[in-house]
Structure 1
Amino acid sequence: MAQQSVAILGGGISGLSAAYYLSKYSPMTKILLVEGSKRVGGWIRSQRVSPGFHASTPSAARADIDNILFEVGPRSLRPVGAGGAAILGMANDLKLQNEMLFVRKSDPSAKNRYIYYNDEINTLPNSLSSLLLNQPPVFKSVIRSILSEPFIGIGSGQDESLYSFVSRRFNDHVALNLVGAITHGIYAGDAKQLSVKSTMRMLYDAERTNGSVIKGMLSSKPLTPILSAEQDIINELTDPDITKTTSVFGFKNGTETLSIKLKHWLQQQPNVTIITDKQVRKIEKTADDNGIKVYSDEASVTVDHVISAIPSKKLDLLLTKKNSLVNLSTNPSVNVAVVNFAFEESVDLKYNGFGFLTPHPDSSYKLPVPGILGVVFDSNAMNGQESKQNSRLVKMTVMMGGHMWDATFGNARPGELDPQFAFKKASEALNVFLGITEKPKFSMTNILEECIPQYTLGHEHRLGELHRDIKHKYSHLLSVTGASYLGVSVPDCIKNSRLLVKDLLEKGALGTREHVITGLNKIVA
């Protein structure tokens, strides 16, 4: 068989992971990774900055002991499931063990989580005794709803919003103030718009399998069945006990350590070419339907297969009208303003935990500073990232906007928003919520445009339609991966790229061609 060629569109964590696994498992395959921006890593960005205010992430950082680490995007990673196993295995293969930091489940930042409710920060119960004996106001009616939930009738099985599902099985208060807050933390999204099947599948599966969410959680069986391919990834863990003791993990120099290392590893592989700062303008099938042509402004290349790891909306723009695909532009993505702070140690945070989230805006208790999604207490959440000199600084990150962007910033679009305005609004939030009025020693604002896809109602059904359309129009020529489809977290993106590559090599375009592999096959399995 002639040497096969694959073009990977997008150099975020999904594209980097696809290139990594493809090069690792098929070193004879010729791989071209094309990234439109000047850097790889996508929304993963870790930056050491000098004292003062930075209106955006500096293009370069000096290796100065006075600099402090700020995370623009993902900051901590969970080791659970196939996604956690995949990223731990990757870090191990890339010899990053000495760069990693692990937060134990016994750590206060793992045990102490908060929700701002009724004009105060509520500490969530972290044990049965605290649930029964020390309920915060946000937990009013929660125990009663837990006790009655097993007696609620089973729904139709049709997809419904997170809010609808939780309100039906528990009550309106739980749906808005607890699940609404959790949704802010994961998706910066609206629990009334997001699909329960696609965002919190375990809730849906618990009802279908056990007739009750509570019964499902008390069952010894997994709430959602684990695919055999995912179990294979879990079985590869060299230290399976790590999931029992670790809450989250990260890297001494931030999450971007992983994408930088992936890029360096790929650059050393003879079968991989990485091109950055180059926009792909169009992709189309060759006249004989045996290849697929990728066009940029200056050149074109024909390959055997394209893996699209760019957002689905961007893929939609690259396809010819004749071979366009359904549903690529249906889901919206939200904008998030991220403001990082670091204060002198004299600032009293008062809380020793991970951070707090805010309820859905339809909660009966309105936020005094609208549009705040949550605040992460970074100096609690990930110790070990700073020099001894900066180790006592109080770091935190304010996240604003998301589905509440217009309520937060009015008509200002992300590209028009003044970073100083976002900084002032975040500072106001710290004053109102935490009583912090001091001027930070370090601060940085970043406006992330369309950074988190929103899996709205019917997402899974639409993915099934997209799978069939890719199969019909592109056969073995095209597959998709990335946050637009089957999970927005870093571990999910890595896992899904790995599963895609494995299927392509074993039974798809680069293997037996026994099946057409789109990256969405599990949706219709």
Structure 2
Amino acid sequence: MSQSVAIVGGGISGLSAAYYLARLAPTSTKITLIEGKERVGGWIKSQRATTPSILFEGGARTLRPKGETGTILLEMIQHLKLHDELVCVPQTDASAQHRYIYYKNEINTLPSNLTSAVFKKPPVMKSVLLAGLLEPFRKSRFAKDGTTKDGKEDESVYDFMRRRFNEDTALNLMGALTHGIYAGDIKTLSLQSTFRMLYEAEKNYGSVVVGMMKGAGNTSSMRERGMAVRARAHDPDWFSKMEKMNLIGFKKGMESLPQTLLSYLKECDNVRIVTQDPVQSITQLDNESKIKTRGGEELYADHVISTIPSFSLDRLIEGKLPHLSHNPSCDVAVVNLAYDGNTRLAQDGFGFLTPHRDTNGAKIPVPGTLGVIFDSNVLKEEEARVTVMMGGADWKDAFKVGIDQVTEKEAYEKAKTVMSAFLNIQNEPKAWMVHLQKQCIPQYLVGHQSRMRQLHQALTEVYGHRLSVTGASYMGVSVPDCIKNSRMLVEELLVSGALGSQEKIVTGLGKTMTDDLKDSRRLSKGNSSVIMMA
């Protein structure tokens, strides 16, 4: 019996889910991808300035091919025949070796090895080394049975770093890192859901430092490791080479990835793509779901995969599930600036980040600045090109008013102020572009994983086999995370029989119910081929 699957959302998560379904499911499976906007790709957007013609990125500009998640990304790139379009940055490159944090009125170069950490430590690192040496001797909050002594499953990143290290390490180092990844505030974000490896290190080894020395940095599940092993088997030499890269990008811009996924899907006879028609509601029927769009179309599907932000799904299903609107999503102003040959960057590294706004290392010259990425250093361009990031958890510090009241010109002028205050560059850019990204990065607040377990249970009870979720709202905000989670969802739907015999209910949040999803589930004879195809 043929099955029908509707995927709501055409960002990287939705495109990936459709791609893996088209690639792995029986060709009789009818797949419909519904995107409310004119274009697919979500926050991944490559766009050229008109005068002169310079390629700018509005969202992610590079990807990290590290670990099992990176390997799954690379497998997609290889299967789509995009490997010849890659731009690769090796670990030895200056942009990989040199990272900066603004602290005490100057750009501090972070140590790249133990020698520089000991003998050339910048002001931002002065109290960090001693804190790291003392960390293994601090008492763990976990008992031997894995429970917490204080009865709290989770805590903020700030509380953890201050408890295990010290205030400076929390605000200055981790505060800056959190700006770079989540545009967020370490005082509100969940340690368990944002920096899981730190949580696991203390839980399993009693110490972050000891845990990292013993390999606690890899928090991938058995399923993820199995997927990576199968991927590498196709071309081990290429994967070995690529996994050693620090960063990868695409010659024609990051949007090459979603556009190639779209082209792949258009070639599949069992895939239909709907754009410019937002979903208005998702309604349960006896044995299927009805999706109604604003344009008046009604679609029926045996299973719906929602990849849109959780707060948007909450509206479509009229609040029938808990916690979908609990986490906020922050706004970020991304401003691309390109200069002529007379402008030079004094640093040769990747870029700089700013510490938490409560840092004791003097005031941030332009409040609300998250950091500046030196794009021309990464991509080896002669003329200076940067991306200024402002807002996030500090949006009100940056702009005072909401994102809908900020004009592109205002964001551009603020970005020029950032360049002058932090990097002493007063020259007028020869080209610029502003992307005002509203609610672009979900903020996993303390207790996120517990809420996701409750959401998993509610999905099971309320929707059964009809609805599953994936995307940045749930278990990872990066592009590789979104691709991996879409693949894991699709494989589990197919392997478990959730789309056919309905032997098992799959929500997309099963990983939150256990520390390690094992590959030892029983596979029906017909579904074992999915693993082989993957």
Is the pair's TM-score, using the shorter chain for normalization, greater than 0.5?
yes
Q: Secondary structure, in 3 states, of the residue corresponding to 1:240?
A: helix
Question: How far is the alpha carbon of 1:28 from its aligned partner?
Answer: 2.0
CA distance in 2, matches of 1:301, 1:257: 30
Could you tell me which residue of structure 1 aligns to residue 333 of structure 2?
337
CA distance in 1, matches of 2:325, 2:308: 12
CA distance in 2, matches of 1:129, 1:243: 28
CA distance in 1, matches of 2:58, 2:429: 17
Matched, 1:162 2:157: yes
CA distance in 2, matches of 1:508, 1:296: 29
Matched, 1:409 2:399: yes
Question: How far is the alpha carbon of 1:350 from its aligned partner?
Answer: 0.6
Does the Cα contact within 8 Å between 2:197 and 2:219 map onto a contact in 1?
Answer: no
CA distance in 2, matches of 1:223, 1:344: 42
CA distance in 1, matches of 2:30, 2:303: 11
Question: How far is the alpha carbon of 1:413 from its aligned partner?
Answer: 1.7
In the TM superposition, 1:433-448 aligns within 5 A as 433-448=422-437
Question: Which residue type is aligned with residue 424 of structure 1?
Answer: E
Match of 1:369 among 347, 366, 380: 366
Sequence identity, in percent?
48
Question: Which residue type is aligned with residue 476 of structure 2?
Answer: G
Could you tell me which residue of structure 1 aligns to residue 520 of structure 2?
none
The gaps in structure 2 that reach 5 residues or longer are 143-147, 515-534
Question: How far is the alpha carbon of 1:223 from its aligned partner?
Answer: 3.2
Could you tell me which residue of structure 2 aligns to residue 348 of structure 1?
344
Could you tell me which residue of structure 1 aligns to residue 530 of structure 2?
none
In the TM superposition, 1:294-443 aligns within 5 A as 294-297=291-294, 298-320=296-318, 324-364=320-360, 365-383=362-380, 391-410=381-400, 412-443=401-432
CA distance in 2, matches of 1:251, 1:224: 27
Does the Cα contact within 8 Å between 2:344 and 2:383 map onto a contact in 1?
Answer: no
Matched, 1:138 2:124: yes
Does the Cα contact within 8 Å between 2:334 and 2:390 map onto a contact in 1?
Answer: yes
Q: Secondary structure, in 3 states, of the residue corresponding to 2:468?
A: strand
CA distance in 1, matches of 2:96, 2:213: 22
Question: How far is the alpha carbon of 1:510 from its aligned partner?
Answer: 1.2
Which aligned runs of 4 or more in structure 1 are off by greater than 4 angstroms?
none
The gaps in structure 1 that reach 5 residues or longer are 52-65, 384-390
CA distance in 1, matches of 2:403, 2:204: 43
Does the Cα contact within 8 Å between 2:12 and 2:479 map onto a contact in 1?
Answer: yes
Question: How far is the alpha carbon of 1:261 from its aligned partner?
Answer: 0.5
CA displacement 1:271-305 (0-9 Å, x = unmatched) = 1000100011111111x2x1111111312111100
Q: Secondary structure, in 3 states, of the residue corresponding to 1:426?
A: helix
Matched, 1:206 2:201: yes
Question: Which residue type is aligned with residue 507 of structure 2?
Answer: T
CA displacement 1:465-520 (0-9 Å, x = unmatched) = 00000000000100000000000000000000000000000114214423210000
CA distance in 1, matches of 2:49, 2:410: 20
CA displacement 1:305-342 (0-9 Å, x = unmatched) = 00000000000000145xx0000000000000011001
CA distance in 2, matches of 1:234, 1:204: 24
CA distance in 2, matches of 1:477, 1:432: 53
In the TM superposition, 1:8-407 aligns within 5 A as 8-26=7-25, 27-51=27-51, 66-156=52-142, 157=148, 158-219=153-214, 221-235=215-229, 236-237=231-232, 238=235, 239-242=238-241, 245-286=244-285, 288=286, 290-297=287-294, 298-320=296-318, 324-364=320-360, 365-383=362-380, 391-407=381-397
Does the Cα contact within 8 Å between 1:45 and 1:256 map onto a contact in 2?
Answer: yes
TM-score (norm 2): 0.92
TM-score (norm 1): 0.93
- Indicate how the Cα distance of structure 1 residues 405 and 320 shifts in structure 2: closer, same or farther if over 3 A, else same: closer
Matched, 1:515 2:500: no
CA distance in 1, matches of 2:118, 2:218: 28
Question: How far is the alpha carbon of 1:81 from its aligned partner?
Answer: 1.9
Aligned length: 497
Matched, 1:482 2:479: no
Does the Cα contact within 8 Å between 1:205 and 1:224 map onto a contact in 2?
Answer: no
Could you tell me which residue of structure 2 aligns to residue 63 of structure 1?
none
CA displacement 1:373-432 (0-9 Å, x = unmatched) = 00000001123xxxxxxx42210000000001111111x221220111111111011001
Question: How far is the alpha carbon of 1:50 from its aligned partner?
Answer: 1.9
Does the Cα contact within 8 Å between 1:506 and 1:512 map onto a contact in 2?
Answer: no
Q: Secondary structure, in 3 states, of the residue corresponding to 2:346?
A: coil
CA distance in 2, matches of 1:105, 1:223: 18
CA distance in 1, matches of 2:303, 2:428: 53
Does the Cα contact within 8 Å between 2:95 and 2:377 map onto a contact in 1?
Answer: yes
Q: Secondary structure, in 3 states, of the residue corresponding to 1:126?
A: coil
Q: Secondary structure, in 3 states, of the residue corresponding to 1:476?
A: coil
RMSD, matched Cα: 1.1
CA distance in 1, matches of 2:500, 2:206: 41
Q: Secondary structure, in 3 states, of the residue corresponding to 1:421?
A: helix
Question: Which residue type is aligned with residue 229 of structure 1?
Answer: R
CA displacement 1:435-461 (0-9 Å, x = unmatched) = 101111110111100000000000000
Does the Cα contact within 8 Å between 2:70 and 2:243 map onto a contact in 1?
Answer: no
Deviates more, 1:3-12 or 1:78-87: 78-87
- Indicate how the Cα distance of structure 1 residues 97 and 244 shifts in structure 2: closer, same or farther if over 3 A, else same: closer
Deviates more, 1:105-114 or 1:75-84: 75-84
